[in-house]
Structure 1
Amino acid sequence: MRKRMIIPAVSAALLLLANPASAAAPTPGDPGIGDPYYPTYGNGGYTVSHYDLRLKYQPSTDELQGTATLLTTATQDLSRFNLDFALDVSEVLVNGHPAKFSATGEQELEITPATPLAKGSNATVVVRYSGVPSKVSRYGFTAWLRTPDGGVAAGEPESAWWWFPSNDHPSDKATFDVSVLVPEGTQAISNGVLTSSSSQLGWTRYNWRENKPQATYLATLAIGRFDVTTQTSSGGLPVINAYSRDLGDNDGSARASVERTGELADWLSGIFGPYPFSALGGYVPNVNTHFALETQTRVFYSPAQFAGGANPSVVVHELAHQWYGDSVSLKRWSDIWLNEGFARYAQWLWSEHEGEGTAQELADYLYATHPADDPFWTVKPGDPGPANQFHPAVYDRGAAAIQALRNAVGDDRFFQILRAWPAEHRYGNATVADFQALAERISGKKLGDLFQTWLYTAAKPAASTAALAKPAAAAKGSVKEPRSWKQIEATNDIHGQDRN
């Protein structure tokens, strides 16, 4: 039998004196998560574990209606909290009760629940909304790409605001269910596995699930008329690819590249370790942009990536991100080298594998091509600043830094490091400092000078420090261009450039 404890009145009074009756009052969560590059992105006071998005989209008018259900946990006693969102909201419920809400700033949805949320408590947040995403501009651009037969959400560092409310920062990852109702004959493509689809009364509903943690900017949605292909990788994973039916002359080269996804992921698994997700694939919509983006499990490719012919190198780049950027995500946007430097280096390894130029030859050519007074060297890959977050130096100098690391520690330790990073930080977040610590632990070497020189110094490294080009080969044009160079450089993966 459970016994009730009776506290004498005197003892109770003493307890009240020792512990004031009123704890600190609940306070609002911060309207930003604290990222130094994007102070208003993300939010404080809570985390999200799951997004359930139930959407209806009309391609002819670009009208989107949605109900988003977020499973959250308060990280403080919370009187009010924000979501990042840009469409029109009609209703918000918190734990089933109507909540007050208002739009503030460029993308803030400020929510005041009927009852404050206690630290550590779970809350279900439901947001009903609608809008025409292509007509919504924030900070002078839109991440929603209109197509002749629908629309696409893909962009970095932000794209979620145009189709679902979120805590929009990579440090708060969650699982996703995305259910989309579209006119029959139109497809809806998203991340993960297609769990079901059904049609009635002239509409078709597609249900997608990503069951591993995913950053909000890696969530994607593409609606239109696609030719969808399905395969099974050698590891038994579903490979789902989709191509707009109006790609014109780029259709063949796009398919000749993206249909190799399973093969290239298997090759990368030999370098980085087991593929971290339950599905593979990519899609090529009819858009006028030029970039590709590592949207988790279902990579976005602009048709322009294939305008010069088949381009397996860009597929390698975006698939490498599934380990470096998606499974292991940056903790703050200044850590972007952890994404782009390693994805670029994967292209160099592919070139080496194909006999079109070794990683060393590519690094030497890069070093020789940019003279000491080239502004290229003023960008610091380890902290490039928001204006240079997707600068070519983050990719190319970032990859050369990795080759310098390889030279410093030797191949055996180097490839141990490449596999250990996604194994030790799987589905989490990490920083450049974390990577340096891991590299030093595995190699047994102090690497501070190397990281400082290559990632944090706004100057061309000395040849002796770089362990790359010899001094006699440092002049522009004195090092032979590897055959793969132009294709790698044509892989325009600078995600921020197409803002309109």
Structure 2
Amino acid sequence: MFRRQGLRVAAAACCAAAFLATPALAGSDGPGAPGVGDDYFPGYGNGGYDVSHYDVQVRYRPADDYLQGTTTIVAKPTQNLTAFNLDFALKVKSVLVNGQRAQFEHDGLELTVTPPRTLPQGSLATFVVEYDGVPSTVEAGGIKPWIRTADGALAIGQPEISSWWFPGNDHPRDKATFDIAVTVPDGTEVLANGVNTGKSSLAGQTTWQWRTTKPTATYLAFMAVGQYEISTKPGAFGQPFVTAYSDKLGEYEGAAKASIERTPEVVEFLSGLFGEYPFEAQGGVATSEGMSFALENQTRPTYSHLFFRRGANMSVVVHEIAHQWFGDSISVDTWRNIWLNEGFASYAEWLWSEAQGTGTAQQLFDHYYSSTPADDPFWQVKPGDPGAANVFHGAVYDRGAMTLHALRNVVGDAALLDITRTWVAEKRYQTGTIEEFIELAEQRSGKQLDEFFEAWLFTPGKPAVGAATGVPASATTASLVPPPAVAEIDAVHERVHDHD
């Protein structure tokens, strides 16, 4: 069966070129590459080693935004490694490799380390980096993602944030487990991923310890410091359900709690669709300043207060919890594949609406299809290859959701459910590409879908009505009155898009 042969040949050629350009082949002596070969963000990530664990220990002063840290990285060289890179933006004081001082050079986000001796392929290696700085003042690569607030900070961002508080291999291809310990003045709260494993105080300082035992992409590790009301109680399937609400939410507090407290209900609903929830804890954080977006930090999504300015907003909770499967458990192999994250998370909002009786997925599809004219620039962005500048464009979200519903119309409800559950099970804790998803969709549905995906993901312009595209005639005659869920969904995507 013909499957996008041209695209796959080009992708293979690109991979071959990247392989040949790597400074050292596996098994030979040489430095690791200063990037993983992501066309959209060439400098992100590094080659030559694989991280299994990060131990991040930082001391943070909210008064002047000063951060001091020691991060220990447990890794395995994938070649005989004479030098390697870490992605990092703050000032580095020292680097130890396997307990010995190593030479290093620092340029922007690239920290190049030369160990005293070659690290053998497959061996156990530890990198210990000591550092400090004022993250909010540091700009690298033209960006400053650190968010300083009146009472602390938010280390939250996508696709980059980790380099502003710990060094690492900053790309979703290299996931690891995390221990995060943050020391702050007494009376200040700290949130991070996973489960709280300890809290202790000494000499006016409190250390908060958090642990996540499932593979985590570096940008999904987060830290929120400030004044929060923190609660831990049983969540779905008996897991810890950790919530934190800023003390300064004011009029937004009620709506934020009315939404985020329903997280276990959403987890159970989505587990029924997608399969087992992939992590060890659940929760959510509501901030009161500094950010206008939401982000799917692993186990603990964080929400701007702006989502709740009109009242409770379940769509944003559904969106971020869906990301625990699509984006967190299954991450993008390169950032070109962002549709696999945002398309599914956005479509999950439609499925929730359908279950809640506030608009069926077909009604929502018809609304967005009919209300967006063919000459609207929205249709010119290709969700399957939006370009680095449009990674978080509205089309990736809304046209992305429309793609999945149109696929449902083409293959049927049962087949789409089977495709989705199989994808989630087979790619658990890994990365994926759109091409792999297309191949699976064809295998599980028994249908040839090249024309369909070409129209929806890779071709500028509004897909035409027809059986091949999954667009029914009803989509052109949708009611001028949108389903009730639309206002909430639009508010979600308006704020999510702002994050860029």
Q: 2:299 aligns with which of 297, 318, 323?
A: 297
- Superposition deviation, residue 218 in structure 1: 0.4
Q: Which secondary structure does the structure 2 equivalent of 1:466 belong to?
A: coil
- TM-score, normalised with respect to structure 2: 0.92
- Residue of structure 2 in register with 1:468 after alignment: 471
Which of 369, 372, 387 is equivalent to 1:370? 372
The alignment of Structure 1 onto Structure 2 pairs a total of residues equal to: 474
Runs of 4+ with >3 A deviation: 477-480, 492-499
How far does the alpha carbon of each residue in 1:30-53 deviate from its partner, in whole angstroms, 9 at most, with x for none?
111100000001011111110001
- Using a 3 Å threshold, how does the CA distance of structure 1 residues 122 and 495 change in structure 2: closer, same or farther? farther
Which residue is equivalent to 1:182?
A: 184
Matched, 1:135 2:104: no
SS in 2 for 1:126: strand
1:489 maps to a residue whose letter is D
For 1:409 and 1:175, how far apart are their aligned partners in 2? 38
The offset of 1:24, in angstroms, is 8.7
Map of 1:96 onto structure 2:
99
* TM-superposed deviation, 1:25: 6.5
Residues 14-413 of structure 1: pairs in structure 2 closer than 5 A: 26-104=29-107, 106-413=108-415
1:139, distance to aligned residue in structure 2 (A)? 2.9
Deviation at 1:445, TM superposition (A): 1.2
Aligned residues: CA RMSD? 1.6
Q: Does the CA-based 8 Å contact 1:80-1:111 persist in structure 2?
A: yes
TM-score by length of 1: 0.92
Does 2:454 match 1:481?
A: no
> CA offsets per residue over residues 257-298 of structure 1, 9 Å max, x none?
111111111111111111110000010122232110000001
Contact 2:77 2:122 in 1 (8 A): yes
Identity of aligned residues (%): 53
Q: Note the C-alpha offset of 1:305.
A: 1.2
The CA distance in 2 between the partners of 1:24 and 1:299, in whole Å, is: 40
One-letter code aligned to 1:345: Y
CA contact (8 A) 1:146 1:287 kept: no
Shift of 1:498: 4.0
Separation of aligned partners in 1, 2:376 and 2:386: 16
Deviates more, 1:337-346 or 1:367-376: 367-376
Q: Does the 8 Å CA contact 2:407/2:470 hold for their aligned counterparts?
A: no
Q: Deviations over 1:121-170 (max 9, x none)?
A: 22100000011111112233321111111001111000101100010000
**Partners of 2:109 and 2:141 within 8 A in 1:** no
Amino acid in structure 2 at the alignment position of 1:45:
G
2:496 and 2:82 map into 1 onto residues whose CA distance is: 36
Matches of 1:285 and 1:147, distance apart in 2: 10
Q: In structure 1, how many angstroms separate the alpha carbons of the residues matched to 2:127 and 2:168?
A: 11
- Verify the 8 A CA contact 1:73 1:121 in the aligned structure 2: yes
Letter in 2 for 1:331: D
Whole-angstrom CA distance in 2 between matches of 1:208 and 1:386? 33
CA contact (8 A) 1:71 1:124 kept: yes
User: In 1, Cα distance between the equivalents of 2:274 and 2:480?
Assistant: 30
Deviates more, 1:410-419 or 1:350-359: 410-419
- Paired with 1:239 and 1:452, the residues of 2 have a C-alpha distance of 41
